[in-house]
Amino acid sequence: MGKEIKNLEKAAKRILKAVEFKEKVILYGDADPDGVISVIILKETLEEFGLKPVQIYFPDREKEGYGINEKALKVLKKKAPALLISFDCAMSNVKEVDLAKKNGFEVIIIDHHNPLPKVPKASIIVNPKQKGDKYSFKQLACAGITYKLSKCLFELKEPSLVWLPERFLELVVLATLADQMILEDENEEFVRVGALALNYTQRAGLRALKKITDFNGDGIEEIKQKIIPPLNVAGLKDHLNEGFLLLIEKDLKKAKKMANDLTAKVKKKRAAIKRITEEVKDRLDIAKETIIFEGDSSWTLVFLGSVASRLCQKYKRPVFLYKKGKVESPGSVRIPKGSNGVKAMINCNQYLKTYGGHPLAAGFRIKNKNLEKFKKCLSQYFKNQ
Ligand SMILES: [Mn+2]
């Protein structure tokens, strides 16, 4: 057998200890389909073992920032001491993980984002991209990693039920496609098996989504066009993601109503993206600029990734878009193949509050007074590439 993902079994053993001693467990996920689905996989796995998490929490990227953050920890503090397991985020939260520990949490990070030079001092980190990980395939979505964690938990605790996590593949396929992971190796298998399982799903939320979007089971492209957008557009209700609520809903009637709301939101989102894209285009003096760097207080942060993707594709240059806040601004980054947005931000990190993500798709948070300096630094960086 090839090498397993570093710390996967260690994390499984620690989680089983929590099951055994009925510890308080908090599941903390990035509020996108990959984070949401990772949380669902572990939630339903723990419930099979008779442990219900004391809280599930998805941070509001716009109000709190990406990953583990101070505001969230304030809300969660009353549940301490507890085991806080984070999904699809937190690799860049060095300070916040320290604060979580101070507040009485033990932190386990399950993630697939590129580690920055400084890594948080969590008690366990499972991330195929971390130093010392010998696992050969590095391109799993966080949900793919969490699926393997679920398998490992069953192998250790209920070997006779080790097939059970396979029911999560209908979700793993969605996370893998939503995060645009490379469809090779294990991802290829997860997507192939998951797409098939989706055709026979018993999950009310997926049945509702399929119905409302006239889903025929035609393959990957159809999943991307019909099933992923409503999950991508889901917002937060009381720190729970609407996609999460839809996918865990047992009642088909309620699920239909939720799926309906989400598909209506998709339509609105498409109109807004078009409008913001046009606005940015109008402002550009494209012959002059090495990078596209624009912001506005009227833009909706969650749409900026899509707008940046479009502009990046059209103009083939790095795109940094931010929603201008009162004092600080969060932003979204898309980079043409061959360049690296994370490296660019590491190079200019003296101007940033936080940043992280993948080389071609990342995010940042900055004090407004540093915006111009940051822009200059980035332009310089990409000019020298
Ligand atoms: Mn992800």
Summarize pLDDT for 110-156 with one digit per residue, the tens: 999 999 999 999 999 999 999 999 999 999 999 999 999 999 999 99
Q: pLDDT grade, residue 65 (50/70/90)?
A: confident
Tell me how far apart the alpha carbons of residues 130 and 133 are, in angstroms, rounded to a whole number: 6
135: phi then psi, degrees, rounded to nearest 5:
-65, 135
Has residue 286 got a pLDDT over 90? no
Classify the phi-psi angles of 219: left when phi > 0, otherwise alpha if psi is within -120 to 50, otherwise beta.
left
When pLDDT is averaged across residues 10-14 and rounded to a whole number, the result is 98
Q: What is the pTM of this model?
A: 0.83
Q: Given pLDDT bands bounded at 50, 70 and 90, which one contains residue 287? A: confident
One-letter amino acid identity for 186? E
HSE of 152 in the Cβ direction (CA atoms, 13 Å)?
Answer: 21
Q: Tens digit of pLDDT for each residue in 82-106?
A: 999 999 999 999 999 999 999 999 9
DSSP string, 163-193: TGGGGGHHHHHHHHHHTT----HHHHHHHHH
Task: Quote the ligand 1 centre to 263 CA distance (angstroms).
Answer: 22
User: CATH assignment of 8-200?
Assistant: 3.90.1640.30
Mean pLDDT of the chain: 96
Give φ, ψ of 13 to 5 degrees: -65, -40
Query: In 3-state terms, what secondary structure has residue 21?
Result: coil
> Which one-letter DSSP state was computed for residue 161?
G
For residue 205, pLDDT beyond 50: yes
Q: Per-residue pLDDT tens for 358-372?
A: 899 999 999 999 999
Cα of 369 vs centre of ligand 1, distance in Å, is 30
How sure is the predictor about 314, in pLDDT bands with cuts at 50, 70 and 90? very high
Give the list of residues 6+ apart from residue 22 with CB closer than 8 angstroms, or none: 51
User: Is 269 a residue whose pLDDT tops 70?
Assistant: yes
Decide if 8-200 and 284-383 have a common fold. no
Q: In angstroms, what is the span from residue 278 Cα to ligand 1's centroid?
A: 28
Q: Which amino acid is at 49?
A: F
Residue pair 322/295 in contact (Cβ under 8 Å)? The answer is yes
Residue 66, pLDDT score: 85
Is domain 284-383 given the CATH code 3.10.310.30 in the classification?
yes
Once rounded to an integer, what is the mean pLDDT over residues 21-37?
A: 98
What is the distance in A from the centroid of ligand 1 to the CA of 112? 7
Cα(6) to ligand 1 centroid in Å equals 18
Any alpha helices (H) in the chain, and if so which ranges? Answer: 8-20, 33-48, 70-76, 94-102, 142-157, 169-178, 185-199, 204-212, 220-222, 228-233, 242-248, 252-283, 301-315, 341-347, 371-383
Note residues around ion ligand 1 (Cβ under 5 angstroms): 34, 88, 142, 179
- Which residue did the predictor score with more confidence, 358 or 278? 278
Domain ranges of the chain: 8-200, 284-383
Q: What is the 257 CA–ligand 1 centroid distance (Å)?
A: 27
